[in-house]
Amino acid sequence: MKSAQPMWQMRAADKGRSEVLAALRSDGGYVSGEQLSRRLGLSRNAIWKYVSSLRTYGYIIEASPRKGYCLVTTPDTPYSWEVSSLDGQRWLGGYSVYLPEVDSTNKLTKELARQGAPTGLCVVADKQTAGRGRRGRNWVSPPGSGLWFSLLLRPPMAPSEVPCFSLIAGAVVARAIRQVTGLSAMVKWPNDVLVHGGKVCGILIEMSAEVEHLNHLVVGIGVNVNLSANQWPAELRNVATSLSQESGTKVRRLPLLHAILQEMQQWYERLLSVGAGPLLEEAGELSATVGQQVKVVAVGQQPVCGLAVGIAADGALRVQISPGEERLFYAGDVSIR
């Protein structure tokens, strides 16, 4: 019996749509049906079918009997054919799954990892019905307004090195936000991304590991892109914000997702080749925590207040609680006072 195609494998129709889009984009203006057909090795009828289906997904493609087709507008939706790169330069997101709605992209990615999904898989949803935050909290994930996605990675590192990776992930997102929006994104230890002091991104890293061996990481990233002030529940109104709230303008999700994937791939490759040291140093330049008076609440411990003096080589936050007395934190909620 023929087995069902795994969810992460690109469907023939998605491949066709992605090839037609790439050809329309590379030429910019009008491309004749005949040229498209020759270039892609598809019949003119097949081209017409892909163009029609792209229109149902919100693409505006003009057709003129004499000039051919012209891509006018692309919807800002992370469809799998938009996320996966055709040129193969970017392996991160080379396989991707897009769902209009899912309970949690982390939960689905963990399930797909168990089914043998490839490293670099990116699972994106427009809306999460049970988005998960750190420490069992909920993550507000309404449709059309955020980037809710998870990455599957299998780094050759020990479980004890994961805290460093977690810090690096925050710096990666902050850098991508800076590139795309110009906003001065900073990282609150370990990996919350803040703009003007408000949280615009949270990262939930889950791992499957044995004592000495890491099987895989699921890196769940939630970026509040275009949420408006009234979309936050009362308890988050003073804590959370979005890129559009802070920049005063709507931000496109797709270029931001591409920038995060690109930056993450580069930093991941550097991490494996040069180790965490230089990356943590660079990440430290974006720290909103170091140099600040902080309160750290770690599980099962009394809250501790002090001056955040730095980040240790293993990713721990160093807090000076009295002259000459320093404590290291590997996990916990930090508030800047």
Residue ranges that bind ligand BTN, judged by CB under 6 A: 104-106, 128, 131-134, 137, 139, 141, 148-150, 192, 202-204, 220-222
CB 171, min distance to ligand BTN, A: 15
CB closer to ligand BTN out of 15 and 127: 127
Q: Rank residues 18 and 166 by Cβ distance to ligand BTN and give the closer one.
A: 166
Shortest Cβ distance from residue 273 to ligand BTN (Å)?
28
Q: 75: which DSSP letter?
A: -
* Strand, helix or coil for residue 149: strand
Beta carbons of 254 and 282 less than 8 angstroms apart: no
Shortest spacing between CB 81 and ligand BTN, in angstroms? 21
Output 192 or 246, the one with its CB closest to ligand BTN: 192
CB of residue 12 vs ligand BTN: minimum separation in angstroms? Answer: 29
Kindly state the smallest distance separating residue 78's Cβ from ligand BTN, in Å.
12
Which residues in 19-29 are b (16+ Cβ under 10 Å) and which e? bbbbbbeebee
Q: How far apart are CA 128 and CA 140, in angstroms?
A: 8
106 and 125 Cβ atoms separated by less than 8 Å = no
Q: How far is the CB of 163 from ligand BTN (least distance, A)?
A: 15
Residue closer to ligand BTN (CB basis): 131 or 163: 131
Q: Closest-CB residue for ligand BTN?
A: 202
Contact (Cβ atoms closer than 8 angstroms) between residue 293 and residue 306: yes
Residue 276 CB-half CA count within 13 A: 23
Query: CA 81, CA 14: separation in Å to the nearest integer?
Result: 6
Q: For the chain, give the number of residues.
A: 337
- Cβ(212)–Cβ(152) below 8 Å: no
Q: Which is nearer to ligand BTN, 54 or 221 (CB)?
A: 221
The conformation of residue 130, written as its DSSP 8-state character, comes to S
Q: Shortest approach of ligand BTN to residue 139 CB, angstroms?
A: 4
140 token code pair: 């507000």
Q: E strand or H helix at 49, and its extent?
A: helix 44-56
Task: Name the residue among 283, 286, 291 with its Cα closest to residue 313.
Answer: 283
Closer to ligand BTN by Cβ: residue 54 or 124: 124
Distance CA 19, CA 50 (A): 9
Measured from the CB atom, the residue of 50 and 148 that comes closer to ligand BTN is: 148
Q: Residue 8 and residue 117: Cα distance in Å, rounded? A: 7
- Count the neighbouring beta carbons within 10 Å of the beta carbon of residue 107: 19
Query: From the CB of 269, what's the least distance to ligand BTN, in Å?
Result: 23
**With respect to ligand BTN, which residue has the nearer C-beta, 18 or 105?**
105
